Chains A and B, each alone.
Chain A
Amino acid sequence: MPDVQSTSRSICAPWPTASATTTRPPATRARSGWRAQPAVGPTWAFSHLQRAAGRCRVRAGELFSGPRPWNAPGPSGWPRSVARQSHCDSGMSLVKAERAQLGRCNMSMGADGKNPYEKLPARAFWKPSVAERSAFDLEGLWTPKFPISRDDRIACFGSCFAQHIGRALKGRGYEWLITEPAPPGLSAENARRFNYDLFTCRTGNIYTTSLLRQWTDWATGSRPEPDEVWVEGDRAIDPFRPRIEPNGFESVGEMRQSRSVALKAFSEAIRTATVFVFTLGLTEGWSSKSHGHEYPMCPGTAGGTFVADEHDFFNQRFVLVLSNLIAAVQAMRSINPELKILLTVSPVPLTATASEQHVMVATMRSKSILRAVAAELAETDTLIDYFPSYELVASPPLRGMFFEPNLRSVNPHGVSLVMRHFFTGLGDGKASLPAQRKQRAIRKGEASAERSDVVCEEQLLAAFGPSG
């Protein structure tokens, strides 16, 4: 059995340890270049999380005073994208910042004597916008922060659900950026088998924010890629893409060459994309004790051999998920400062958990944290947005109708609904002819092929269960 006790282990120094989140910080703390304001009321915890995250990109002065460079600094000492959006004085206190926040939300009592709720649109109320509507009639769930057009180059990475987004974008005539294309002649079916055209390049599923950080660190050269190889018989398995070749590579050299190509393609994706779509999938993961790198799959499941003394389970808390995502975004912006990021949370529940919790509890924990992290970044950075795919599939009003009978995989109708909201939000609600044909095909029950399109290594874990 894996050691599931070591959940507080940080993946990579000097990332904050989870234990830091449980200790009340001193009221003030001076650090080089930035200084926390005195903690006031319940916000101290949030303030501390921000500090623990280290480089969280909040609006200048909203929570901290003084410069805290987050990406390439602009003339004001802040990253240009931050400076653009900064509208608070750098010395504003936390209380003022909160008031300003309330003001932005337009919740103050108006001169007409009406309370704020009387002015809210129907979509702000559950009954008219949810309870009295069909699931297929929901609207206005997403208002994009920035436009996405057919001129944008859109890179898609992340958990299994991200694969639907890329394909839907392509179906609508958007430029789904592919930086590692399949060779000419390879059939669509075999391209999927070899993990081409699932994501922008052949990274395989990137389930956690720490995995994304790992990839961005490798791509930017800030961390060397590990030498680790799993050899099974005469085949070589890439520990960081264990199912990228269905039968493994014919040699270690070929594996390294393939990963090098993928890394180059990943780097190119960051450099050339205008929009980076990332689907957050999991908080749980496995890492190497001796080297610190993270595996997308537990060794011994999709390849390799599990060694209890070497392989370590972790279940990341909010701070760590947030800081990893921030670090990844920072690394990407160091290459492409204007990169817009669209976060989504995968509605697909965990196949299995090693956290010793019930898998349903573990799923809710994981998704809640991921959702909170997405909100945290989307609400503090004008170039980061959140698209509610999770809500559109997993919310109670949807009654689980968009899950397959296994109550886990999202069925084509759910994918279709999610993407309809996506394009409607972009003001592109009318499907192109190919998309209409595809929707008709789904309605005719020809969606079985679509179901098998998504490659989700995590599903392999089901084979290790009692009835697997």
Chain B
Amino acid sequence: MMRIAVLGNSHVACVRSAWDAVRDRYPGVHLTFFAAGRRGLADLLASNGRLVPGNSRLREILTRRSGGVAEIDPTKYDAFILVGLGLSMRRIRRSNYSRAVCRQSIIDAGKSSLSYSIAEQLQALSTAPVVVYANPLLAADESSQFVSPSVYETNLTTLRHDVFAPIGSVLVEQPSSTVVKGFWTRPEYCIGSAGLEAGDGRPGRAHGGQDRAHMNEKYGVLLIQSALEGTLGCRPKRGLADALPPWLRRVGSLRRQGHRKTGFSNSQPVRPTSRPPQQLGIDLDEHPAPRDLSA
């Protein structure tokens, strides 16, 4: 059994709900979620080889969302996945700044993120791999202009080599199939996104059509696939498509028949649940597992 701790803020919600959908695919993997909104995890403190909540409110939140675990004992986990936590890709107008200034601002922003500080704490307490995912790129809308892919690539390369590699962590790009126009997330991965579950069985609050920063369960599935198969080397028990729930397999089938969603509008009616129903529109055949970056 591979035990993995997933730490994050609101951006971990899509992974949390996606895990319910795909966990059967990874019988040898157990995920424990430690999530608090915004910079809530900034109150985690290193104490006696553990990361412990610095206040009672965070303790309560972590206990509810993790299924009863308030403290993160790094020795109990084989790997860590960090999602979001203030690490974002930056569009800097290259014409206004020198390359050195751009690079330094990416580094500084990365090192000031909560993601970096938690990764640093984890690496100090454990030798287990720490896999980092940044905030997803904003979802594209009609006004989104094409951005040279080199902008995203520069962000990734700089953060990987100058921020996370020195502390032994691995930054992984968001699944390439979700990126459009160079620096945006395809809008279909944003539709129906929801916030963190409270941990009491109720679904997270729907973000609404105006939210372009948070992604849905469909995106979460791809992120899990990327992390487990592409980076941590977990092999699915069967074909991933077989492990999907029936509604998800049916959608994939529909897409192959040409029932694709089109357009960039994300102003679809908001569904009150984090579990997308029928038109999830995912075709896992089109999403090969990313290369293993840890190799």
* Chain A residues near B112 (CB-CB < 8 A): 185, 187
CA–CA, A182 and B108, complex, Å: 12
* Chain B residues near A249 (CB-CB < 8 A): 98, 100
CB-CB contacts below 8 Å: B184-224 with A = none
Tally chain A residues at the interface, Cβ within 8 Å: 17
Question: Would B100 and A250 count as touching, CB distance under 8 A?
Answer: yes
**Neighbour of B98 across the interface among A184, A190, A254, CB < 8 A:** A254
Known contacts A183-B92, A184-B90, A185-B90; A190 and B99 CB within 8 A of each other: no
Chain A nearest CB from B99 CB (Å) reads 5
Residue B267 is within 8 A (CB to CB) of chain A in the complex: no
**Neighbour of B106 across the interface among A185, A246, A258, A261, CB < 8 A:** A185
Residue B125 is within 8 A (CB to CB) of chain A in the complex: no
Residue A186 is within 8 A (CB to CB) of chain B in the complex: yes
* Chain A residues near B95 (CB-CB < 8 A): 257, 261
Chain B, 94-120, contact with A by CB distance < 8 Å: what is the 0/1 string?
011111111011101100100000000
CA–CA, A29 and B172, complex, Å: 79
**Neighbour of A258 across the interface among B92, B98, B108, B109, CB < 8 A:** B98
CA–CA, A258 and B97, complex, Å: 7
CB-CB contacts below 8 Å: B55-112 with A = 90, 92, 95-102, 104-106, 108-109, 112
Residue A194 is within 8 A (CB to CB) of chain B in the complex: yes
In this complex, which of A183, A245, A246 has the most chain B Cβ atoms within 10 angstroms of its Cβ? A183
Contact residues of A: prevailing secondary structure:
loop
CA–CA, A258 and B105, complex, Å: 16
CA–CA, A254 and B112, complex, Å: 28
Residue A106 is within 8 A (CB to CB) of chain B in the complex: no
Known contacts A183-B97, A261-B96; A190 and B109 CB within 8 A of each other: no
CA–CA, A190 and B111, complex, Å: 13
In this complex, which of B92, B105, B106, B112 has the most chain A Cβ atoms within 10 angstroms of its Cβ? B105
CA–CA, A417 and B12, complex, Å: 51
Residue A247 is within 8 A (CB to CB) of chain B in the complex: yes
* Chain B residues near A183 (CB-CB < 8 A): 90, 92, 96-97, 101-102, 105
Known contacts A185-B90, A187-B112; A245 and B98 CB within 8 A of each other: yes
Question: Would B90 and A190 count as touching, CB distance under 8 A?
Answer: no
Question: Would B105 and A250 count as touching, CB distance under 8 A?
Answer: no
Chain B: which residue is nearest A187 at the CB level? Answer: B108
* Chain A residues near B101 (CB-CB < 8 A): 182-183, 186, 194, 245
* Chain B residues near A245 (CB-CB < 8 A): 98, 100-101
Chain B: which residue is nearest A193 at the CB level? Answer: B104
* Chain A residues near B108 (CB-CB < 8 A): 185-187, 190
Chain B nearest CB from A288 CB (Å) reads 25
Chain B: which residue is nearest A255 at the CB level? Answer: B98
CA–CA, A446 and B102, complex, Å: 31
In this complex, which of A184, A186, A249, A258 has the most chain B Cβ atoms within 10 angstroms of its Cβ? A186
* Chain A residues near B90 (CB-CB < 8 A): 183-185
Chain A: which residue is nearest B108 at the CB level? Answer: A187
Chain A, 184-217, contact with B by CB distance < 8 Å: what is the 0/1 string?
1111001000100000000000000000000000
Q: 17 other contacts beyond A182-B101, A183-B92, with CB at 8 A cut-off? A: A183-B97, A183-B105, A184-B105, A184-B109, A185-B90, A185-B108, A185-B112, A190-B104, A190-B105, A190-B108, A194-B100, A246-B100, A250-B98, A254-B99, A258-B97, A258-B98, A261-B95
Interface CB pairs A-B, < 8 A, 11: A183-B105, A186-B105, A186-B108, A187-B108, A190-B105, A245-B101, A246-B100, A249-B98, A249-B100, A254-B98, A257-B95
